[in-house]
Amino acid sequence: MKFPAKSFALTLAVAAVLSGCSSAPKNPTAITFSVEPPSEKQIEQSVRDQVALMLEAFTPIAGQALPNNSVLEAYEFRDFEPLWIQDKTLNMSIYKLVDILEDANQHGLNPIHYHVDVLKEYLDNPTPTSQDLAELDVIATIALSSYAHDLSIGRYEPQLIDPNWQLDAPSNTWRDLLFLKNATDMVNYLPTLAPSHPHYQVLQKWLVYYQELSAKENDIQIDVGVPLFEGDEGPRVAQLRARLVQLGDIRFSTRKVQEDVFDNELKQALIRFQRRHHLLADGTAGSQTIQMLNIPMTQRAKQIAYNLERWRWLPSKLEADRVWVDLTGYEVQTRLNGNTQTMKVVIGKPERKTQVFFGNMTYMVANPTWRVPHRIARENLLPKVQKDPNYLARHGYKVFASWSIGAKELDPTTIDWKAIDQSKLSYRFEQTPDEGNALGAYKFMFPNKNDIYLHDTPAKHLFQEVDRAFSSGCIRLERPGDFADFIIANNSKLKSALDKARLTRETTVISLEQSLPVYLVYFTVVPNENGMPEFRYDVYDRDKLMEENMGYLAFGTGESL
C-alpha cells in the first residue's frame, strides 16, 4: 500500500528532524471534513491494513527495541477497531497524550523517540482520509506504548551500556495499559507507570528544576582566584552567594544582606553544598569547591537523567526486608522487621569493579575458610609467594593440587614457585580461619555468578577513608558481628549457633530460615536527608557509559547531546 504525501514522516530520519509544527489546540474539537468523511468500516479496515506496515516503518530508535508486538496484540484484542477514533470523532485524550510526550524530557527521556512532531502533522490535517486516520491511530498507539514501556522499565538495556551492570528487573505490567477500556483511561493511567520510589520522585523534581532554571537564566559562574574565607569581601563573594542561591543551598529571603561579604550564613550554605558534593566541608571556597560550583546546570541535569534511568531498571516494588549495598555511598543499609541498620563498606577497586546485581542471602559462615579466587591467586598471591617462599605458611594458606573436589593437599615448600607462570597456575589455595584471614570472622552468602559476598576484614583502617574502593570485588563490612546479630535477631536457634561458633572458633555454616534480598546498586545522584541532590564521585566512570549510549535531550530544544 502506498503511503500518502501526508505520511512522509514514517521513517526515523524524518521523524527526528521534523520541526515547526503547530501545537495542539487548547480547545480541540471533533475532526471536521470538507468532503464526505470516511465510514467507520473504512477506518477500521485501514487500521487493519496499516498496523503491520506502521510497526515496520517505526523501527527501533537507539537502545532498546520498541515494544511493537504489544501494539499488535492490543489491536488484535479489539479486532482492529481504532483506539483514538470513535463515532467519527477523534478522542480528545490524544492531545493530552501529545502534551505528556512533549514533556518526556522531564523524566530524562527524549520526546523525539515518541514521534511527537509526526503526530502533530497528522492532527493538523483538516481533511484526513481513512488511511490518514488509520495511520494517526497506529502512530499514537505506538507512541503511547513506547513511552509506557520506557517510563516503567527504562528505555535501554543495562548490559548493552555496561557489562558490569547486571541488575535489570523488567516487568510486563506496563502492557496492561494497552488493554484498558478506552484511550482516555490509557492516557490517564500513563503517568502512574513512573517508579514510585521517593528517591525517583525527588530526583525527577530536581531535573525539572534544573531544566526550567536553565531555560530562564544563565549559570552564575565564580571567577577563578584565591580561596575565599569567612570575613572576605568583594565581587567574587557576591558571585559565590548568588550561585548558592541559584543552586538552592541558600533559601530566598527578603532579609537584606551584604551580598559581597562572606558571613557565617554564607559559610554554612557552602558547607551544605560541600557535603552534598562529597567535598571537604570546611566552609572555604577553594579551587576544588569553585570548580564544582561552576559545573553547568545542564551537566547536572544529564547526571540526574542517567540516574532516573537506573531507577527504572530496578523492580517497581522493593521488598520491605532487604540489604541495600550503596556502592557510591560506600554504605550498606539493612531493613529487617521494621528496624534499620547502617554501616560503612569497602567496595571493589576501579580495576576490579563490584558488579551491580541482585541476590538472595541464604546463609552465613562464622570463622570461614577462604578459598582464594583463581584471578586473585594468579595476580596477587603468586607474586607474593615468589618473593617470599614462607608467605603461605606465615599467613595460614593451604595448597591443593587442583580445583577438583578431593584434590590432594601439597607441601608448598616442595614447589618451585618462581618457575610458575601466572597464566598456567593451577593450584588451589585456601586460607584457614584466624585473625589474619582475608575474610575475617564472617562471610555472608547470596550465591551469584560473580562470586561476590559480604564479609569481615582484618584491614579495619580502610573504613576511616572517605572513598573506600579497595577490595577485589567483594563487599567488606565495617561491623560484621553487628550485621550477623541483626539478621538473626529474632531467631534464638540461630543466635545460639552463632554464639557457639564465636566461642569455639570453629568454621560454622548458619542457614537463614528465610532468604534476605540483597541489592548492589550504583547511583551518582541521590537525594540527601534534606531532599537536596547529592552528587557523588563516579568511581567506576559509569556516567560516561550512560552518556555515550543514551545521549540526552537537554531541555526540549530538539538537540540531542
Domain tally, the chain: 4
Q: Is the pLDDT assigned to residue 14 strictly greater than 70?
A: no
What pLDDT is stored for residue 306 in this prediction? 96
Under 8 Å CB-to-CB from 541, ≥6 apart: which residues? 350
Asked whether residue 240 is domain-assigned, the answer is yes
User: For the residues 102-115, what does the mean pLDDT come to?
Assistant: 93
Shared domain check, 268 and 158: no
Shared domain check, 57 and 14: yes
Asked whether residue 124 is domain-assigned, the answer is yes
Q: Is the pLDDT assigned to residue 128 strictly greater than 90?
A: no
From 163, 194, 225, the end of a domain falls on 194
Residue type, 60: P
Burial class from Cβ neighbours inside 10 Å (0-12, 13-18, 19+) for residue 350 reads exposed
Q: How many helices (H) and strands (E) does the chain have?
A: 19, 17
483 or 113, higher pLDDT: 483
Confidence (pTM): 0.85
Residue of 102, 202, 204, 113 whose CA lies nearest to 150: 113
- Domain of 342, in residue numbers: 329-368+438-521
| Residue 478: count of CB within 10 angstroms of its CB | 20
User: For the residues 532-537, what does the mean pLDDT come to?
Assistant: 96
The predicted-structure confidence for 205-239, as pLDDT tens digits, reads as follows 999 999 999 999 999 999 999 999 999 999 999 99
From 393, 409, 432, the end of a domain falls on 432
Shared domain check, 122 and 157: yes
Asked whether residue 318 is domain-assigned, the answer is no
Shared domain check, 377 and 362: no
Q: Is the pLDDT assigned to residue 395 strictly greater than 90?
A: no
- DSSP character at residue 481: H
Residue of 546, 385, 557 whose CA lies nearest to 63: 546
Reading the block at residue 136, the C-alpha cell is 494517526
What pLDDT is stored for residue 132 in this prediction? 86
Q: Which residue has the cell 479486532?
A: 79
Shared domain check, 36 and 160: yes
Contact 345, 477 (CB under 8 A): yes
Task: Identify the three-state secondary structure at position 429.
Answer: strand
SS3 annotation, 320-365: CCEEEEECCCCEEEEEECCEEEEEEEEEECHHHCCCEEEEEEEEEE
Q: Report CA dihedral (246, 291, 544, 212) to the nearest 10 degrees.
A: 10
What pLDDT is stored for residue 556 in this prediction? 40
CA distance linking residue 37 with residue 346, whole number of Å? 69
Asked whether residue 164 is domain-assigned, the answer is yes
Residue of 363, 355, 327 whose CA lies nearest to 446: 363
Asked whether residue 296 is domain-assigned, the answer is yes
Q: Is the pLDDT assigned to residue 547 strictly greater than 80?
A: yes
Q: Is the pLDDT assigned to residue 28 strictly greater than 60?
A: no
Q: Which residue has the cell 564465636?
A: 502
274 or 24, higher pLDDT: 274
Q: Is the pLDDT assigned to residue 425 strictly greater than 70?
A: yes
Reading the block at residue 546, the C-alpha cell is 550512560
Confidence of residue 34 (pLDDT cuts 50, 70, 90): very low
CA distance linking residue 155 with residue 62, whole number of Å? 9
What pLDDT is stored for residue 172 in this prediction? 85
Task: Identify the three-state secondary structure at position 294.
Answer: coil
Shared domain check, 204 and 172: no
- The residues that are catalytic are 455, 474
The predicted-structure confidence for 328-356, as pLDDT tens digits, reads as follows 999 999 999 999 999 999 999 999 999 99
Shared domain check, 177 and 106: yes
Shared domain check, 513 and 408: no
Asked whether residue 110 is domain-assigned, the answer is yes
The neighbouring-strand residues paired with 366 are: 442, 508
Cβ burial 407-417 (10 Å sphere, 16+ → b, else e): eeeeebeeeeb
Q: Is the pLDDT assigned to residue 420 strictly greater than 70?
A: yes
183 or 556, higher pLDDT: 183
Instruction: Kindly report the CATH number assigned to the domain that includes residue 452.
Output: 2.40.440.10
What pLDDT is stored for residue 64 in this prediction? 52
* Cα-based distances in Å from 303 to 87, 308, 523, 526: 46, 9, 10, 10
Residue type, 466: V
The predicted-structure confidence for 242-271, as pLDDT tens digits, reads as follows 999 999 999 866 567 889 999 999 999 999
Reading the block at residue 176, the C-alpha cell is 496492561
Asked whether residue 535 is domain-assigned, the answer is yes
Shared domain check, 376 and 250: no
The predicted-structure confidence for 468-480, as pLDDT tens digits, reads as follows 999 999 999 999 9
The neighbouring-strand residues paired with 428 are: 400
Confidence of residue 18 (pLDDT cuts 50, 70, 90): very low
The predicted-structure confidence for 366-392, as pLDDT tens digits, reads as follows 999 988 888 889 988 999 999 998 899
Q: Is the pLDDT assigned to residue 15 strictly greater than 90?
A: no
- Looking at the chain, the whole-number percentage of residues with pLDDT higher than 90 is 68
* Cα-based distances in Å from 466 to 275, 330, 397, 417, 538: 12, 9, 32, 38, 14
Q: Is the pLDDT assigned to residue 4 strictly greater than 50?
A: no
- DSSP character at residue 406: T
Shared domain check, 143 and 117: yes
Shared domain check, 500 and 354: yes
The neighbouring-strand residues paired with 261 are: 233
The predicted-structure confidence for 440-477, as pLDDT tens digits, reads as follows 999 999 999 999 999 999 999 999 999 999 999 999 99
What pLDDT is stored for residue 449 in this prediction? 92
Q: Is the pLDDT assigned to residue 13 strictly greater than 80?
A: no
* Cα-based distances in Å from 418 to 403, 425, 461: 21, 11, 32
Shared domain check, 20 and 147: yes
User: For the residues 49-68, what does the mean pLDDT come to?
Assistant: 63
Asked whether residue 354 is domain-assigned, the answer is yes
What pLDDT is stored for residue 69 in this prediction? 79
CA distance linking residue 464 with residue 473, whole number of Å? 19
Reading the block at residue 227, the C-alpha cell is 580561596
Q: Is the pLDDT assigned to residue 25 strictly greater than 60?
A: no
* Cα-based distances in Å from 200 to 87, 197, 318, 365: 40, 5, 13, 36
Contact 297, 535 (CB under 8 A): no
Tell me which of 22-36, 166-180, 410-424 is least confident.
Answer: 22-36
Q: What is the mean pLDDT of the chain?
A: 87
Task: Identify the three-state secondary structure at position 171.
Answer: coil
Cβ burial 141-155 (10 Å sphere, 16+ → b, else e): bbbbbbbbbbbbbbb
From 194, 222, 245, the end of a domain falls on 194
Long-range Cβ contacts of 446-453 (<8 Å, 24+ apart): 446/359, 446/360, 446/361, 446/362, 446/515, 446/516, 446/518, 447/359, 447/360, 447/362, 448/357, 448/359, 450/166, 450/355, 450/357, 451/373, 452/354, 452/355, 452/357, 452/520
What pLDDT is stored for residue 373 in this prediction? 87
Instruction: Kindly report the CATH number assigned to the domain that includes residue 211.
Output: 1.10.101.10
Contact 487, 497 (CB under 8 A): no
User: For the residues 391-399, what does the mean pLDDT come to?
Assistant: 89
